[in-house]
Amino acid sequence: MSEAGSHSHVCAHCAREEERERTVDMRSRYVVAVVGGTAFLLGLLSQYVGAGVVYSYAFLLVAMLVSGRWTIPRGLRGAARLHLDTNFLMTFAAAAAMVIGAPTEGAAVMFLFFIADLLEHRTDRVVHREIESLLALERPTVTVKVDGAEVCMDVEEVEVGSVMLVRPGERIGLDGRVVAGTSSVDEAPITGESLPVTKGPGDDVFAGTLNQEGYLEVEVTRWSDDTVLARTIKLVRETEEHRAPTELLVSRVSHMYTPVVVALAISVSAISALLGTPLVAAVYRGLTLLVISCPCAFAISIPVSMVSALGGAARSGVLVKGPEYIEHLSRTRTVAFDKTGTLTQGQLGVEGVCVHDAGSEDEVLTAAASLGQMSEHPVSMAIADNSRERGLTLSRPAEFRAVPGKGMIGRVGDERYAVGNLRLLDEQDVAVGRDHMCGVGTSVYVARDGQHLGTIILGDQTRGESRETVQLLHRMGIRTVMLTGDNEHTARRVAEGLGIEEFYAGLLPEDKVAMVRQLRKEGAVVMVGDGINDAPALAAADVGVALGAASSDIALEAADVAVMGDDLRRIPAVIDRARRTMRVVRQNVGVSLSVKVLLTLLSIAGLVGLWVAVLFGDVGLTLAVVANAMRLVRAGPATNSPSGTA
């Protein structure tokens, strides 16, 4: 087995083992919820049916201990290290309530805190489910052609250059290039493309996609741990390893906050007792303050929102490498686009035909396309594609001669044609005015028997959604800029056609980096690109976005966000999602702090008890925070109605 294959096998095994452990952990938490909840209800029931204080206390003590299965050990370990956290607050409050003769409140504190913790873990499963769904796309084995025979092999053992056999209905196991056969392939899991894509010889296919009706032979181009699917899984996993700046701040505040709250609770109890409040009531008042001050909802408000946003973005085909980039995206002021392959399709297309000397568009295109059948030059292929779209009938040239660097000469029917650049027409003594200009782009001149018939103008075709994307960004109050290495005439034509406000042409990769740094002085910059030459600029921006993660390794590595398809409209959608996420974060933090402050003041005055503190100040608030954050998972991309500025 190859080193790469062995590494992939170990990673896949570890990933599945981690998922099994998480599943077991969640099941054990559900068991604790059932047992703890049952004991709590039996404790309450014992009080009402007159079963006796001992039975009631025993059931409530069991409810507290079972519900504190994870909280109590963590709280005690933290106290031993003088690291007082939320777990210590709940453990101390529940235990003290039991001691002072308030077992119902003590059990309620621990059980309801456990329910809040369970909700947090349940929410965290959002991203894990995304990983599980991606792992389900990985085929453990593939059929490979070896010495003319079919051999079933583990994907980790298949070497680059091997030929896979993919039958109808099978999932493609590794990235590769079709060498034989034609079929439709469902690429939705990888690129987000909703319609099946026709694949034939020379086309790339990706691991995790589904072959539909045809038979394909595919030459493997990547090791199993380097496929687009494997890198996608890696990106999703990386989202769990990062924390947003705001989340880090809240975490630091929470750790400093807990000792202060404990000291305040002790002070409230002591002062109340000194002022004549009975000891039990004074302690109860301090415990109430402890529970109210528990920063549970406040602490989870940001991570829950971020995890929900990341999961929702992944479902819509956008992978964000970490929650910190959600914050950066929400502050976007400028989006800078590369041109070729990003705003445009990166391939030539016919943009117009100028007719001269009694020629016709059909004749000009037919002559150029007929001769172009003998050439594999991108210009010839673009003209041939346009001719087929127009339904023109092409003829086989009777004569053909390629003139390197200039064009081609040949006979179609009874006529002799020259197709190429101005130098070719000069050699053929064909008169073309020096001020001749039919448009901006690549000009292909067509002459018949020494007479200039017309000129075909070709250019890099813009993506169908490029203009809509620019308009969406403008409606969101975001400035758009195009950075390109192309000439100024072409750049101006593309920018004006798409409605882009600014463009900078003739840029080398280092020039793009300098422009991005300049733009960052005016606010957060998102850079969108797809090629190797875009990687430095992607890394220099506040957020780098790789368009078409299936096509550019270096751009994907340098980027912070990967759009798993070629739809530019997902960029304003993910910015809009980031803005909504930060609004939810601000709502959650604001509500949490407001409720905590209000209940704290009421508890100091002795106007609220432990039940109110638990139901409203802890569990109720946590439920509200989680429910508000979970909207970010369900909310789809708002490409048609983006929000305004944040």
Which tokens go with 136?
Answer: 């389900």
Instruction: Clarify whether 566 is annotated catalytic.
Output: no
User: 526 phi and psi, to 5 degrees?
Assistant: -105, 125
**What size, in residues, is the chain?**
646
Determine the average pLDDT of the residues in 313-329: 81
Q: What is the CATH number of the domain that holds 507?
A: 3.40.50.1000
Which of 478, 481, 503 is closest to 493 using CA atoms? 503
Grouping H, G, I as helix, E, B as strand and the rest as coil, residue 542 is coil
Q: What per-residue confidence (pLDDT) applies to 515? A: 93
Which tokens go with 52?
Answer: 């006796």
Residue 618 per-residue DSSP state: I
In this structure, the answer to whether residues 520 and 555 fall within a common structural domain is yes
Q: What per-residue confidence (pLDDT) applies to 473? A: 95
Q: Could you say which of 523, 545, 578 is where a domain stops?
A: 578
Q: What is the CATH number of the domain that holds 174?
A: 2.70.150.10
Residue 192 has pLDDT above 50, yes or no: no
Which tokens go with 349?
Answer: 């297309």
In this structure, the answer to whether residues 477 and 400 fall within a common structural domain is no
| Residue range 74-101, pLDDT digits in tens | 888 888 887 777 777 778 778 877 877 7
With respect to residue 104, please indicate whether it lies within any of the assigned structural domains.
no
Given a contact cutoff of 8 angstroms between Cβ atoms, the answer to whether 529 and 342 are in contact is: yes
Which tokens go with 304?
Answer: 């829950």
With respect to residue 525, please indicate whether it lies within any of the assigned structural domains.
yes
- How many structural domains compose the chain? 3
Higher pLDDT: 138 or 213? It is 213
Amino acid at 460: D
Which of 289, 293, 248 is closest to 272 using CA atoms? 289
Which tokens go with 203?
Answer: 């086309």
With respect to residue 198, please indicate whether it lies within any of the assigned structural domains.
yes
Q: Give the range of the structural domain holding residue 431, as residue numbers without chain letter.
A: 346-462
Which of 584, 581, 535 is closest to 560 using CA atoms? 535
Per-residue confidence band for 453, with pLDDT thresholds at 50, 70 and 90: confident
Q: What is the CATH number of the domain that holds 377?
A: 3.40.1110.10
In this structure, the answer to whether residues 163 and 216 fall within a common structural domain is yes
With respect to residue 107, please indicate whether it lies within any of the assigned structural domains.
no
End-to-end CA distance of the chain: 53
Exposed, middle or buried, 146 (CB in 10 Å: 0-12/13-18/19+)?
exposed
In this structure, the answer to whether residues 444 and 545 fall within a common structural domain is no
In this structure, the answer to whether residues 490 and 456 fall within a common structural domain is no
Residue 336 has pLDDT above 70, yes or no: yes
In this structure, the answer to whether residues 551 and 488 fall within a common structural domain is yes
Q: What per-residue confidence (pLDDT) applies to 4? A: 40
Q: Which has the minimum average pLDDT: 246-255, 364-373, 609-618?
A: 246-255
Q: Average model confidence (pLDDT) for the chain?
A: 78
Q: What per-residue confidence (pLDDT) applies to 11? A: 44
Q: Could you say which of 407, 437, 462 is where a domain stops?
A: 462
Per-residue confidence band for 530, with pLDDT thresholds at 50, 70 and 90: confident
Residue 646 has pLDDT above 50, yes or no: no
Given a contact cutoff of 8 angstroms between Cβ atoms, the answer to whether 440 and 493 are in contact is: yes
In this structure, the answer to whether residues 448 and 500 fall within a common structural domain is no
With respect to residue 283, please indicate whether it lies within any of the assigned structural domains.
no
Higher pLDDT: 628 or 174? It is 174
Q: Tokens 């989340």: give the residue.
A: 247
| Residue range 376-409, pLDDT digits in tens | 777 888 888 888 888 888 888 888 888 877 889 9
Determine the average pLDDT of the residues in 169-196: 77
Q: What per-residue confidence (pLDDT) applies to 1? A: 39
In this structure, the answer to whether residues 516 and 561 fall within a common structural domain is yes
The alpha carbon of residue 154 and the mean position of all alpha carbons in its chain are separated, in whole angstroms, by: 29
In this structure, the answer to whether residues 431 and 561 fall within a common structural domain is no
Determine the average pLDDT of the residues in 538-552: 74
Residue 267 has pLDDT above 50, yes or no: yes
Q: Could you say which of 236, 251, 268 is where a domain stops?
A: 236
Residue 439 has pLDDT above 60, yes or no: yes
Q: Which of 208-217, 514-523, 529-538, 632-641 has the highest mean pLDDT?
A: 514-523
With respect to residue 203, please indicate whether it lies within any of the assigned structural domains.
yes
Residue 171 per-residue DSSP state: B
| Residue range 40-59, pLDDT digits in tens | 889 888 877 766 778 888 99
In this structure, the answer to whether residues 157 and 170 fall within a common structural domain is yes
Which tokens go with 171?
Answer: 């999932």
Radius of gyration of the chain (CA): 33
In this structure, the answer to whether residues 471 and 500 fall within a common structural domain is yes
Strand order in the sheet with 344-355: 344-355, 451-462, 442-448, 415-420, 407-412, 399-403
Per-residue confidence band for 609, with pLDDT thresholds at 50, 70 and 90: low
Catalytic, out of 338, 534, 542, 566: 338
With respect to residue 409, please indicate whether it lies within any of the assigned structural domains.
yes
In this structure, the answer to whether residues 454 and 539 fall within a common structural domain is no
